[in-house]
Amino acid sequence: MAHVSELHEYRVWAPGAERMRVVAGDASTEMLRDDGGWWQALAPAGDYGFQVGDDDAVLPDPRSRRQPRGVHERSRVWDASARAWDDGGWTGRPIAGGVLYELHVGTFTREGTLDAAAERLDHLLEIGVTHVELLPVNGFNGTHNWGYDGVAWFAVHEGYGGPAAYQRFVEAAHAAGLAVVQDVVYNHLGPSGNYLPRFGPYLASEGRSTWGEHVNLAEPEVRRYVLDNVRFWFEDMHVDALRLDAVHALHDAAETHILEQMAIETAALAAHLGRPLELIAESDLNDPTLITPREAGGWGLDAQWSDDFHHGLHVALTGETHGYYEDFAPLGALAKALERGFFHDGTYSSFREREHGHPIDIERSLSWRLVVSAQNHDQIGNRARGDRITEALEESRLLCAALLLYAGPSTPMLFMGEEWAASTPFQFFTSHPEPELGRLTGEGRLAEFERMGWDPSVVPDPQDPGSFERSKLDWAELRRERHARVLDGYRQLAGLRREIPALTDPHWSHGRVEVFEEAGVLRLLRGVNSLAALRHGERLRRAPAQEPPLRAAGAERVEASAEIIINFGTKPQSIPVTHRRIRFQTHPDLAVSGELSLPPGSGALLT
C-alpha cells in the first residue's frame, strides 16, 4: 500500500456514470461520487487515467495538466505551483499603445520548441513588439498542427516542451519586458483524442460549426470548465492576455453570455493578482458590443481582431478582388476602416449576401481596441498555397503596409517573419495518425478552395510532412540584402511609433483620411488638433454609414502632428503636403517642397 505522502487526490466530473475508477500505475481504485456528479479518490501519484462505468478502457483526465505520451494515453500529475517563479517584478503591459507579434511555436524556429522560441525574444524588441502571441499550444493529436485541433485544454503540447517549458518561456518573455498572449479555442474540440463526451455532456446535442459540435454552454459545469481554463492560463502560467478564437461560434443563450462572464472573472482576478489581464476576441461579426464596457451595456472584453483593415490593405496592395475581397476594391474601403474601425458596419456584404456588422461609436470607443494586421496566420494559411504577400510585392509596397500598420490608429499585429519579408509560406498542416481522418482533412480542404474558385492542383496536402517543414522560418534570411532592408524599415517604424505620440493616440476623431481614388493615393493624418477633430467628428456622424469617406483634391486642410501618404497606384503622383520633414520613406529618392512626389507603390511619414 502506498505511503500517505505518495497519494494524490483525483477528481473528475462524470454526472451520468454509475461507477468510476482511477487507474494509477498498476492500481485501480474505486471512486466516490458527490451530489454534483464529481467523483474523487486517493491513489498513487504518477501517470493515471479513468475508467468510466464497467469499461476497462483507461481515458485521460479531462483536466489533465500533462499528456507525456500524447492525447490518447494516460495523464501525468503535474503541479503548476511547484515552480519558483522569477518574474515577481513583472507588473504587466496593457495592450493600449502596444504592438503584437503572432507566432506558431512549431515553425517559428527550426527546433520548434518553446525554449528555442525564447532565445529569439530579443529580436522582437528591435521591431517594437510589446506582446508575443502564441497560436494554440494545448494538447492535440499527432506531432504537428496549427493548434486549433486541441483536445487537452489544460495541457501544453509535449512536442513544444510541455508545461514546464511554457512556464520558462513566459518567464523569459517577462524578463525581456514582453507580455504573453495565448490563443485559446473554446468553440469546438479537435476530431481525434476528444474523450470529454465519455465523461459528461460537454458537447451540445444540437448544432455544429465547420469545425465540429458546439461546446455545451448550457451546462453549468461545462461553463465552469471553460472559465477555469481561462484562470489556469492567467494564474498558473502567468499569461497576460488571451486571444479567444472564433467567438462567433460560441452558442450561449444564458442571460450573461460566457464572454461577459469571462470579462467579469478576469477583471476580478486581475485586481487580485495586481497586474492587467486582458481578453482579445476573434470575431467576424463586426459587433462593437464585445469591446463596449459592461457599464455601457457591452460585454467588457478589452479588444477584438478586425479583418476589414487587412482586406482593404490587401486589395490596395495586390489588386486581388475575389471572394470576400470584392467589397474592398475601392480605396475608400480602407479609408473607412482607418476612420471608423469597421468597413462593414451595417453595409451589404456581397460575400455573405446580406447586410453585415454594426457601427462603432467613435466618440466613446478607443481605437486601440481593434487589433489589425497586414498578415496573420489565417490570411496566409487559408490561401490555397499558403503564400505570403512578400512573394508578389516589392520591398517598397511591403513597407507601405508596415507604415500604415505602425502609424495607423489601431493596435498593430505582425505575423512571424513578416518583418523581414520571409519567403517561407505558412501552409495548413496536420499530422493525424489515423489515415481516414487525414484523408478527410485533405479532401475537405480541397473542396473548400474549389468553392472559392482556387485551383485545387496547387493546394498542398495538409498531411504531407513537407507542408509543415516548408512553413518553418529561415532565420538565415536576415543576413540577405533584401530581407535586411525590410527589417531595417520595421525597426525605423518601431522607433517612430515610440517617439511620436500621435501614432498611439487612441481617439478615432484625432485621425483623418483623404483618398484620391483614381490616382490610388491615400493620406492619413494623425494627431488632428482638437477643433478640427471636433468638426471631423460632426462630419462623421452626419455621413451616411454605407458611404466610404472618399475625398477629392483640394479638400479642407487641417492641422495634424503627422501625415502619412501612400501611393498605391501605378503612376507617379505629386501630392500637396502640410509638413516638410520626411521621417520615414519606403523609396530612397523622395523629396518634399510644398508637394511630395511619390513613385508608384511608395509612401512616406512626415512631421
- Binding site residue list for substrate: 243-248, 307-311, 377-382
Q: Is 274 exposed, middle or buried (0-12, 13-18, 19+ CB in 10 A)?
A: exposed
Numbers of helices and strands, H then E, in the chain: 15, 28
Strands 562-567 vs 370-373: parallel, antiparallel or unpaired: unpaired
Q: Are 8 and 2 in contact (CB under 8 A)?
A: no
The rounded distance, in Å, linking the Cα atoms of 140 and 468 is 15
| 387 is known as an active-site residue | no
Q: Please report how the helices 481-499 and 395-407 are oriented relative to each other, as an axis angle in degrees rounded to 10.
A: 20
3-state percent helix, strand, coil for the chain, nearest multiple of 5: 35, 20, 45
The type of residue at 514 is E
Burial 113-134 (b: 16+ CB within 10 A, else e): bbebbbeebeebeebbbbbbbb
Residue 18, phi then psi, degrees to nearest 5 = -95, -15
The rounded distance, in Å, linking the Cα atoms of 280 and 514 is 30
Q: Reading across the β-sheet that carries 38-44, which strands appear in turn?
A: 7-13, 38-44, 32-33
Q: How far is CA 409 from CA 21, 320, 325, 511, in A?
A: 56, 24, 22, 7
Binding residues: 243-248, 307-311, 377-382
Out of 245, 327, 418, 505, pick the active-site residue: 245
| 284 is known as an active-site residue | no
Out of 133, 252, 260, 282, pick the active-site residue: 282
Strands 179-184 vs 131-134: parallel, antiparallel or unpaired: parallel
Residue numbers annotated as active site: 245, 282
